[in-house]
Amino acid sequence: MTTSPLAPAPRGSARSGTLMTISAMLFVQLGLALSTGLFEQLGPLGTGWIRLVFAAALVLVIVRPRRSWFTRSSFLACVVLGAATSGMTLLFTLAIDRIPLGTAAALEFLGPLAVAVLRSRGKALLWPLLAAVGVVLLTEPWTGNIDPIGVLYALAAAACWAVYILCTQRVGDELSGVRGLAVSIPVAAVIASLIAAPSTIPLLTWEAALAGLGLAVLLPTVPFMLEIQALRRITAAAYGTLTSLEPAVALVIGLLLLHQVPGLLPVAGLVLVIVAGIGVERSAGRAAPSSAATLAVGSPAAENSSAGEAPLERDELRTGEPA
C-alpha cells in the first residue's frame, strides 16, 4: 500500500522513510567521491562509463524487461531518457575531476530548480535570484581560482538533469514501476560506450573492473532501492525538502573523503542554493501539491494511485548525478 503525496504518513513509517532518503543521498555522494579513485587509471569518462555498463547489467538482471511492456512512444521516451542519463553521468564526472564535489552538486542542482521555477508559472521568482547569488558565491569568479571548464561541465550536467526530469515524467505516465529502467539505463551505457569505451578498454584491469562493479552497486543500485521504499513512507513534499539538502551532503562527503575544504563564501553560496531549492519546492507544492512539488526537486515520482505503483523515482536513473 502506497502513501499518497497528500496524505500524512504514519509517524514511524515517516521516520524510516526519512532515514532511507538521507541514506540514499549519502550513498550517492559516497559513490561519487569514491569514483574519483579510478580517475587516475581510467579517467573521468572511463569511470563514468564502467559504472553505467555494470549498472545496465544489474538493471537487466533485476527488472527482466518484456517487449509487451512498451509502446512505440514509451520506448522512444525511454531512449531519450537514457541519453539524458548518459549526459548527466559523464558530464558530472568530468566536473568533479576539476571542481569540488560540493560545488559541482550545487551547480547541477540548478537543473531541477529551473524546472521547478518553470512549473511554478512565475510564482517563485525570488528563488532563482537567490540561487544566482548562491552560484556567484560558490564559484567566486573574481578570484580566478575556480576552473571555468569544470563549471561548464556541471552546468551542462544540470541541463541534462532538467531534460531527464521532463523525460522521466513522460516515462512515468506511460510505464508503471521501474520498467523504463530496462531501456534507459542500457541506452545510457551504449551512448557512454561510444564515447569512452575505445579509450578505456585498453586501460582496464581486473581490479578496476571489480571496483567499477562495486561503484555500480553503490550508485545507483542501493540508492534506487532505498528511495523506492522511502517514497512509500513519506510525502512528495517531504521527499523534495530532504533532497534539497543534497548539495550540503556532497560538501560534507567532499570534506571528509576528498579533503576539499570550502571557504566561507562558497559555504554561504551553497546554503543559498539549498534554501532556493526548498523555497521553490514549497512554492510549487502549494500551487499543485500532487505534481509540481515533486517536480520541484527533479522527482517525477508522484504515486500512481490508480495502479498502486510509483512511476520512475528521481534517482532510479541517477548514476553520477546527482546525483
pLDDT along the chain (323 residues), means of 10: 42 80 90 92 94 92 84 88 93 95 91 79 73 85 86 95 81 73 90 95 93 88 74 72 85 93 89 85 51 35 38 40 42
Q: Do the domain assignments include residue 2?
A: no
Looking at residue 246, what is its pLDDT? Answer: 87
Q: Do the domain assignments include residue 168?
A: yes
Q: Do the domain assignments include residue 306?
A: no
In terms of Cα–Cα distance, which of 18, 24, 17, 22 is closest to 219?
24
Looking at residue 314, what is its pLDDT? Answer: 42
Asked if residue 36 lies in contact with residue 94, where contact means CB atoms within 8 angstroms, the answer is no
Looking at residue 87, what is its pLDDT? Answer: 95
Q: How far is CA 63 from the centre of its chain?
A: 20
Asked if residue 215 lies in contact with residue 33, where contact means CB atoms within 8 angstroms, the answer is no
Which structural domain range is residue 90 located in?
Answer: 11-295
Q: Do the domain assignments include residue 288?
A: yes
Q: Do the domain assignments include residue 231?
A: yes
d(CA 26, CA 319): 14
Q: Do the domain assignments include residue 226?
A: yes
Looking at residue 54, what is its pLDDT? Answer: 94
Looking at residue 321, what is its pLDDT? Answer: 45
Q: Do the domain assignments include residue 38?
A: yes
Looking at residue 4, what is its pLDDT? Answer: 38
The tally of domains found in the chain comes to 1
Tell me the three state secondary structure of residue 231: coil
Q: Do the domain assignments include residue 305?
A: no
CB atoms within 10 A of CB 256: 11
